[in-house]
Amino acid sequence: MKKIILSIGMFLAVNAAFAQSKPVAPTLSNSNTPTMQAPATPAAPASSLKPENMYFPVSIHDFGTIPEGPAAEHEFEFTNTGKEPIVISNVSASCGCTTPSYSKEPVLPGKKGKVKASYNTQGRVAPFTKSITINSNAGTKVLTIKGEVEKAPTGSVPVNNSLIKTN
């Protein structure tokens, strides 16, 4: 009995939810079978912004040769050359060894924003080239960091590897 009452209650709740939603117009598919399609939603106003409106004087940064160990960091700065605020929605790096951060506030026309890239050099002795992809209301922009990590020098004090204890 409880299952029946619960089923009736769920049925009524679902019907009430559908009754309040917008009507759906039937259309015909290629097989002449009626199908249901949701009504078109109004389009958002078109933005005049383009990726070029995020003007980066430098979009590639070469660290050169850097030592293994400390993180290599570079801050890219851009100017909004458009007529609307630029809002960065996401910044991602090409791998987990690079951590990006960015301006969270909208960048007003004529103002500057920042995107920072931090590359973890520990255990990565080799040349590297990493990309940072910026997604915003102006479109997508790609920045690049590169360089070469050289092995950290070993300690200047010799290590005692003998089996004789020196207490």
Section 65-87 average pLDDT: 94
Confidence at residue 21, expressed as pLDDT on a 0 to 100 scale: 46
Q: Is the pLDDT of residue 164 over 50?
A: yes
In a domain, 28, yes or no: no
Which tens digit of pLDDT belongs to each residue from 81-137? 999 999 999 999 999 999 999 989 999 999 999 999 999 999 999 999 999 999 999
| CA–CA gap between residue 165 and residue 48 (Å, rounded) | 75
Q: Report whether 134 contacts 141 (CB < 8 A).
A: yes
How high does pLDDT run on average in the chain? Answer: 79
Full-prediction pTM beyond 0.75?
A: no
Section 52-60 average pLDDT: 94
In a domain, 36, yes or no: no
Instruction: Report CA-CA distances (Å) from 3 to 6, 14, 131.
Output: 5, 16, 57
Instruction: Report CA-CA distances (Å) from 136 to 66, 76, 80, 83, 87.
Output: 32, 16, 12, 15, 6
Q: Provide the residue range defining the domain that includes 77.
A: 51-150
**Band (45; pLDDT cuts 50, 70, 90):** low
In a domain, 115, yes or no: yes
Q: Is the pLDDT of residue 18 over 50?
A: no
Name every residue whose Cβ is closer than 8 Å to that of residue 104 and which is 6 or more positions away in sequence.
Answer: 88
In a domain, 118, yes or no: yes
In a domain, 146, yes or no: yes
Q: Is the pLDDT of residue 51 over 60?
A: yes
CATH number at residue 93: 2.60.40.10
What is the residue type of 100? Answer: P
In a domain, 160, yes or no: no
Number of domains in the chain: 1
Section 46-58 average pLDDT: 87
**Helix, strand or coil, per DSSP, at residue 6:** helix
Q: Which segment, 2-6, 39-43, 61-65, is predicted with the most confidence on average?
A: 61-65
In a domain, 32, yes or no: no
Q: Report whether 103 contacts 78 (CB < 8 A).
A: no
Strands of 60-163, DSSP E: 60-67, 72-80, 88-93, 98-102, 112-119, 127-136, 139-150
What the block records as the tokens of 62 is 């070469």
In a domain, 111, yes or no: yes
Number of Cβ atoms within 10 Å of the Cβ of 149: 22
**Band (160; pLDDT cuts 50, 70, 90):** low
**Band (49; pLDDT cuts 50, 70, 90):** confident
